[in-house]
Structure 1
Amino acid sequence: MRKLICRVGLLCVVLLGMMGKSFAQSFSVQRIGEGKQAIILIPGFACSGDVWNQTVDSLRSNYTCYILTMPGFAGTASEANPSFDNWTKQIADFIHNEKIEKPILIGHSMGGGLALNIASTQANLVKSIVVVDALPCLTAIYNPNFQSRKISDDEFAKAGAQLLGMGEEQFRRQAYISAVSLTTDSLRYDELVKWSLTSDRQTYAKMYYDYSNVDLRPAIKNISVPALVLLEHPFKKIAPIVEQQFGNQPNFRLEYAGKGLHFIMFDDWEWYIQQIMDFINN
């Protein structure tokens, strides 16, 4: 009887440990490299961690890279209630649980937003951040009067109904149109479309509307670590509006790519990787 109780108790401990790990790491993680300094790379909306492959090839010799793919995106298992705030907490918990000492965060698009949010809420957790083509509030660029507000589940359901109701072929066409608008590298189109098609549609819809409602402009003042922001070339045309969102913080350095679109790592590779190397090596 005593042995049975011990076995049941041990099973409970194991299951609780697995549950805790599952919550903390609902995103997928790939670790590459053995350098002392850790770098966590966070991809953007509906993207695989493979978006960082070329970047990691340049970093792996001197850094330990943790490449994430967020839950429900690009074939990764989805979770019940994805949200921008919950993903922020999960990444912070991952850093704590894995005892990763002062990592550098590199985030693209929504991943850049997550890096900004982590740095603004966890002041002592990270060494520095690199934000690749993300703004504190993208929606405000198109709607200057935008104000973030709490959106009910019913509103999310109604807003996402059109997206969720798309047939596979219509969704594929939309994903292809999106890919063409986000990179000048036509060889990447099929890959971007594949990531969208293998993303969980519920997660896709929920996170699209959730992230559209994010406004980190008030939080920027709380970021005290060095921050490099790499922006796509078209943003240079509205530089004063873009830079106003970052509040002229002295620890922020904003640089604009000389060519290309949203996927700067594809469209202006040499400039992009040189900017990152100069920043993280100083």
Structure 2
Amino acid sequence: MRTYRNLITLFITLSITFISFGQKNIYSFKIDKKGNGKQAIIFIPGFASSADVWEETVLKFKNDFTCYSLTMPGFAGVMPKENSTFNDWSNEIADFIKNEKINSPIIMGHSMGGGLALNIASDHPKLVKKIFVVDALPCLMALTNPSFTVKENNDCSHMVNQIMAMSENEFLQMQKTNIITMVANKSKQDLIVKWSLDSDRKTFGSMYCDFLNTDLRNKIKSIECPSVILLQSHFKNFKTQIENQYKNLKTANLQYANKGLHFIMYDDQEWYFNQLNENLLSN
């Protein structure tokens, strides 16, 4: 009888434990939390990047804010999520904000992360206090193809297969070639390449394909919060096209860096932090 009661007790304990774990909010992205300020900032890195891309930024602001730095699934060593899409990631981050009761966060996103910030603020205009978009456009493809339109039921299998078929050395060489067009700060190049090498190839190919098929130009008219858009210096040559892309975002404050490439936080750090100080600490 005692053995029977012990088994019943064990069963109940395991059941409660299972239910408890089942009720926890489990997210596909990795979350690094630092600071305990009243105002929260959610940092979203760019394509195939780690949350560590925000390391210097978080270090500077963690005493005044609560900082949540995300690394998306399949990127920089985080376990991939099957059938990830840009919209799925956007919805999951919005759910994270709601589930964890993060009140009116600021969202700061770089590159694809900037696109996610725009998308979240468009879909949930009352959820976000302010967004910072670091070198991202509502529609990347339209910069070189003004007639671009989104493909319905876009097939990414060719790009995924092409990426997955590469040898380790071929993929490494591709990333080494690409990185010199993305960041001028040579001390950061190997780090960013490593994040790509640590990323899941299938996620790498599918998310790149999906992001290239994203157009938020019309959607951003729904955004209500202040929107600070920090762009690389080279984009000064495309001001007309870029301002046209952002014309529906009535709260947009477009600023162009003085030097450097896509990773503005590394290439024009003084200008970058001046912009953040002006738009974060003063409000």
Same fold (TM over 0.5): yes
Give the structure 2 partner of residue 127 of structure 1.
129
- Whole-angstrom distance in 1 between the partners of 2:214 and 2:261: 22
2:81 is aligned to 79
Write the deviation string for residues 27-49 of structure 1: whole angstroms up to 9, x where unpaired. 00011111111000000000000
2:23 — aligned with what?
17
**CA positional deviation for 1:157:** 1.3
**Letter of the aligned partner of 1:61 in structure 2?**
N
C-alpha separation in 1, matches of 2:109 and 2:49: 12
Structure 1 counterpart of 2:66: 64
Residue-pair matches, total: 276
Once residues 211 and 236 of structure 2 are traced to their aligned partners in structure 1, the CA distance between those partners, rounded to angstroms, is 23
Q: Take 1:249 and 1:214, find their aligned partners in 2: how far apart are those partners?
A: 16
Which residue is 1:107 aligned to? 109
For the pair 1:38 / 2:44, whether they are aligned, the reply is: no
Aligned residue for 2:259, secondary structure, equals coil
**Is residue 92 of structure 1 aligned with residue 94 of structure 2?**
yes
Q: Name the counterpart of 1:253.
A: 253
Residue 235 of structure 1 corresponds to which residue in structure 2? 235
Q: Distance in 2 between matches of 1:222 and 1:129?
A: 13
CA deviations 1:166-216 (Å, max 9, x no partner) are 100010001111111101111111101100000000110110000000000
For residues 51-91 of structure 1, the C-alpha deviation after alignment (integer angstroms, 9 at most, x for no partner) is: 00111111111111001100010011111111100000110
Matched, 1:207 2:213: no
- Provide the rounded CA distance (Å) in 2 between the counterparts of 1:249 and 1:90: 23
Structure 1 residues without counterparts, runs of 5 or longer: none
* 8 Å contact kept, 1:257–1:272: yes
Give the secondary-structure state (helix, strand or coil) at the position aligned to 1:139.
helix
Classify the secondary structure of the residue corresponding to 1:159: helix
Deviation of residue 11 (structure 1)? 3.9
Tell me how far apart the structure 2 counterparts of residues 93 and 68 of structure 1 sit (CA, whole Å).
14
Match of 2:174 in 1: 174
AA aligned opposite 1:29? I
- Normalized against structure 2, the TM-score is what? 0.94
Residues 230-262 of structure 1: CA distance to partner in whole angstroms, max 9, x if unpaired?
Answer: 000111101010010111643110000011110
Q: 1:146 matched to which residue of 2?
A: 148
- The secondary structure found in structure 1 opposite 2:152 is coil
From the superposition, tell whether residues 187 and 8 of structure 1 become closer, same or farther in structure 2 (CA, over 3 Å).
closer
> Residue 278 of structure 1 aligns with which residue?
278
Output the CA distance in 1 between the equivalents of 2:217 and 2:194: 33
TM-fit CA distance, 1:15? 4.0
Q: Percent identity?
A: 45
Q: Give distance in 2, aligned partners of 1:159 and 1:200.
A: 14
Tell whether the 8 Å contact from 1:26 to 1:79 is kept in structure 2 after alignment: yes
User: Which residue of structure 2 lines up, in the alignment, with residue 266 of structure 1?
Assistant: 266
| Residues 220, 247 of structure 1: 8 Å contact kept | no
Q: Aligned pair in 2 of structure 1 residues 248, 156: CA closer, same or farther (>3 Å)? A: closer
User: Superposed, which structure 2 residues align to 1:183-202 within 5 Å?
Assistant: 183-202=183-202
Q: Hey, what's the Cα distance between the residues in 1 that align with 2:65 and 2:21?
A: 33
Q: 1:248 to 1:26 in 2, by over 3 A?
A: closer
* Paired letter, 1:14: S
RMSD (Å) for aligned C-alpha atoms = 1.4
After TM superposition, the score normalised by the length of structure 1 is 0.94
Higher radius of gyration, 1 or 2 = 2
Aligned equivalents of 2:219, 2:30: Cα separation in 1:
27
Contact map agreement 2:51 2:71 (CA 8 A) in 1: yes
1:125-174 CA-partner distances (Å, limit 9, x unpaired): 1100000000000011111111012235xx21123221111100010001
Gaps of 5+ in 2: none
Q: In the alignment, what sits opposite 1:6?
A: 12
Q: Deviations over 1:78-119 (max 9, x none)?
A: 111111000001101111111111110000000000000000
